[in-house]
Structure 1
């Protein structure tokens, strides 16, 4: 039963016009130029949909302000969709649309959906990268870019009161695979029908940086290469969008997934992440458990906030049996069980 990734994300926002300008500048391509409910479609077929925060068709919000109100996962066949729906319906309500789309609420209160998706292959041809005495691009100039045009929705990050239980729900009901565990911080998991390092990441609400937050944290868009990330970041800043945020305001690379990233605070809620050169995995991958701060970034002097603090220990271990989950199953609600990172 294959879930192919994120088919669409629906936002409820305070200012539709402002969010429309943001996503247009970000490099997404409009599929529906409606003023009230604009839609953007990426080359993979994934969609971003923006609606007014009081739209009666949106699911009820369990957080304050603008943000993701529903996320739809794409399933390969109708038969597999019905099998997944049957698993979910064991202990929670599932309601259906006329086209067969299934809706449910996950353990953290996030409205989610499943629907059949004809995901499209993305044709990327990144330029080879030269290095001293390693010439792989000879007599060939790099391609010229004017704008970033993200290709996929790589992943979405949610805040979770109990990220172990959240992950286990998606593992047991929807066949997600754990790829990495940032100990006492969160779990990265891959949908079984995609090679991307993670489709979902559940970030604990229990450490000081995220205490009590609800809903979603950010969404990541896959770009062809680092050049596209750079061009997108420069264009956004030229258009007046600030990249100042609590966690990181610089071009950097996540150690835990190898991905190059650049975040922008998004008026639709949370952050929008340009994302390139991530690890891609299959079922031969062995999950790892990392010390919380160690996997977050490759440290640089321009990092700020959380990412500016070097970890006390540099530790990563293979975790083929997911044994690390038990120690983090019941993080103290007062935060006493969570290492301080500030």
Structure 2
């Protein structure tokens, strides 16, 4: 009995229509758009909820700018949900709404929810790739991906103050049974929920030394989706936040876009999958952000070849 996944992420925003357009362009399915809120879903029916910053139903904000107000975690059984709520009520108020979703706060002040999960089994055929000695695709030329649809919200990253960071992390480890996978002492702690095998589902990052939204990450099926998804967002007028690359921690290929709802969003593919024999790895120094990142000199003057590396 355990937390299996992120069930929903709730934002408080300044411009509801702009943020709705952003996430539709990003590839989420729009299921509700009213004057007061917008609801979009991933392929596995996790929900992305947008509400106006002054909506009284939102948890209090930890930052002055738009951002994440609540992360709701999906629990695999009512018994497990009840046990988690009972434990949390020993030192904080927990409200259960008419849909059975429990709402409270974590140690930093972010809204925290717990709900029964209702996972959807996907039947899709990921793109096949060829290399010498390993042929997956015969007589099937690749074509453009015209519809980037994120499979799921695979992780959330939140910024926290340095003071109280240990208590903030311990809350998730000891009260919600998360597991630390990589502890980067100068930066933050990567954590995995019990019911998933991604290298991390959650990051608490203390490097900025303030509470706020860092990013949410959405899994897509492959490298082409990451690249074409980012291209599509740029063509729609949104701003890229980082160049295409592959992370060191987690190993996933990434592309980040600035998010008008707060922080950034990430297209991600090929994340490390790990079991409970992995880690926790403790890093006294921060590993490089990426193994590689796209570099180009196409739009810069050609170098003076006479100053290049001398040939033997």
Instruction: Decide: shared fold, TM above 0.5.
Output: yes
> How far apart in 2 are the matches of 1:136 and 1:279?
21
> How far apart in 1 are the matches of 2:295 and 2:143?
28
Is 1:235 aligned with 2:237?
A: no
> How far apart in 2 are the matches of 1:301 and 1:150?
22
> How far apart in 2 are the matches of 1:295 and 1:46?
31
User: 2:211 aligned to 208, 211, 214, which one?
Assistant: 214
Instruction: Verify the 8 A CA contact 2:188 2:203 in the aligned structure 1.
Output: yes
Q: Displacement, 1:93?
A: 1.6
For residues 9-88 of structure 1, the aligned pairs below 5 Å read 9-88=9-88
User: 2:253 aligned to 244, 260, 263, which one?
Assistant: 260
Higher strand proportion (structure 1 or 2): 2
Q: Give the corresponding residue for 1:340.
A: none
1:295–1:178 Cα change, 3 Å: farther
Unaligned stretches of 5+ residues in structure 1: 304-342
> How far apart in 2 are the matches of 1:220 and 1:166?
21
Q: Give the corresponding residue for 1:91.
A: 91
1:80–1:22 Cα change, 3 Å: same
User: 1:270 aligned to 252, 263, 266, which one?
Assistant: 263
Q: Give the corresponding residue for 2:101.
A: 101
Q: Give the corresponding residue for 2:166.
A: 164
Instruction: Verify the 8 A CA contact 2:243 2:294 in the aligned structure 1.
Output: no
RMSD: 1.8
Q: Displacement, 1:4?
A: 1.2
For residues 109-128 of structure 1, the aligned pairs below 5 Å read 109-128=109-128
Aligned residues: 294
> How far apart in 1 are the matches of 2:14 and 2:259?
12
> How far apart in 1 are the matches of 2:60 and 2:192?
27
Q: TM-score, normalised by structure 1?
A: 0.81
Instruction: Verify the 8 A CA contact 1:39 1:49 in the aligned structure 2.
Output: yes
Q: Displacement, 1:291?
A: 4.9
> How far apart in 2 are the matches of 1:4 and 1:255?
24
Deviates more, 1:293-302 or 1:103-112: 293-302
Unaligned stretches of 5+ residues in structure 2: 297-312
Is 1:6 aligned with 2:3?
A: no
Bigger Rg, structure 1 or 2? 2
Q: Displacement, 1:164?
A: 2.9
Q: Secondary structure at the match of 2:168?
A: helix
